[in-house]
Amino acid sequence: MTRRTNTLVPSDMKGLWAFVPACSTPDAADVNAVNTIDTEALLSLVDRLVRDGADGIVTTGSAGESHTLTTEEYRTLVATVVETVNGRVPVFVGASTLNTRDSIERARLIADLGADGIMSGPPMYLPQTPENAVQYYKDLAEAVPELAIMIYQNPHAFRITLPPAAFRELAQVKNVVALKQTSMDIFNVIGAIKAVKDKMAVLVLDQLMYPAMMFGAAGGWSIDVCMGPWPALSLRDACQRGDWTEAAAIADQMQAPMRSLGLTMEEFQAMQSAWWKIAVDVAGYGRAGAARPPFVHIPEAVVDSARRYGQRWAGLAERHYRSREAAGLKPAAADGSRAGRPTPADGGPDQSSLVTTA
């Protein structure tokens, strides 16, 4: 069988990329539950994000719970997202596993389900050397030429910080088109941007699009958008038109809720899947549901932090929604009507009430 070839290039990866949760059914925290993907909630959230202006969709990263889904749930989630997006924007799917062969097998499943690309970090059971991590991506790229590849730089999860030289080498691989940069090391971020030039799109945390886009970052990745995308859309737009004064002001607004996180970064990282889902449900733009086992005993401090963040983001999203609407920037929905304003998600209670605290 003749395989299709990836057609995405780095310039296709610009803008704001929405990272979506694995929306869950009410029984998802039960270890005996099966088929816990809430396809209706997932479809609604993904469609709304695309209609409201997201430039791409990514599923099954760390906050996207790739590590807690069964194979069948994973397949259901990917198929639902691909069908919902229906070619309107690129779809990338997380394909991080414990070894190269499993990642290739998962990538081939993703290709069969119709996604445009994969996001993958180096195998994480044991720390990798840069040389082995680079070889991992080369092997993955060769095995699935039909898919675009987004490198996932997440030092906390994968226990390696790839240096700019590694990205320079991987930028020569045709279907390695993007880098999701989660490192907070500004020298690593800027070094990566300079190393790859225009041969790989570097995406940074949404709140850091300013100043990173001043140095050549292609855009941002965002989980915040699942609580209402309008602040991040406004920052994207300001950066793309080079209005750095406006961008600095918006970035400061977006960073304010995180400054009152009330958790250490270790506490946040350990519970981030549950934390994000609580925040999303509180904000009301979408319905994320409960986290899956083993993340079922959530400290009260984590629950309080997530609720506070979701409430503050929802208020910020409302303000930016109104300002964008006044400026005529509200996008048209797929059916020609106007996309919806930030109101609580339809149906179901606040899912943070379903969390068992410790």
Known catalytic residues? Answer: 152, 180
* Burial readout 153-183 (b: 16 or more C-beta within 10 A, e: otherwise): bbebbbebebebebbbbbbebebbbbbbbbb
Q: Which helix (H) or strand (E) holds 59?
A: strand 56-59
| Inter-CA distances, 287 with 75, 96, 218, 329, 348, Å | 20, 25, 29, 25, 8
User: Residue 269 corresponds to which tokens in the numbers above?
Assistant: 């990282």
Please answer whether residues 281 and 350 qualify as being in contact, where contact means their C-beta atoms are separated by less than 8 angstroms. Answer: yes
Please answer whether residues 7 and 175 qualify as being in contact, where contact means their C-beta atoms are separated by less than 8 angstroms. Answer: no
| Inter-CA distances, 15 with 91, 109, 222, 308, Å | 14, 27, 11, 28
Please answer whether residues 148 and 178 qualify as being in contact, where contact means their C-beta atoms are separated by less than 8 angstroms. Answer: yes
Nearest residue to 138 via CA among 149, 153, 127: 149
Please answer whether residues 209 and 199 qualify as being in contact, where contact means their C-beta atoms are separated by less than 8 angstroms. Answer: no
- CA–CA distance, 98 with 65 (Å, rounded to integer): 15
The residue to which tokens 């339809």 are assigned: 346
Please answer whether residues 12 and 55 qualify as being in contact, where contact means their C-beta atoms are separated by less than 8 angstroms. Answer: no
Q: Which helix (H) or strand (E) holds 18?
A: strand 15-19
By the 10 Å C-beta count (0-12 exposed, 13-18 middle, 19+ buried), 296 is classed as: middle
Please list, in sequence order, all residues whose beta carbon lies within 8 angstroms of the beta carbon of residue 280, skipping any fewer than 6 positions away: 21, 226, 227, 286, 287, 288, 310
User: Residue 120 corresponds to which tokens in the numbers above?
Assistant: 């993958």
- CA–CA distance, 140 with 321 (Å, rounded to integer): 40
Nearest residue to 124 via CA among 153, 150, 147, 149: 153
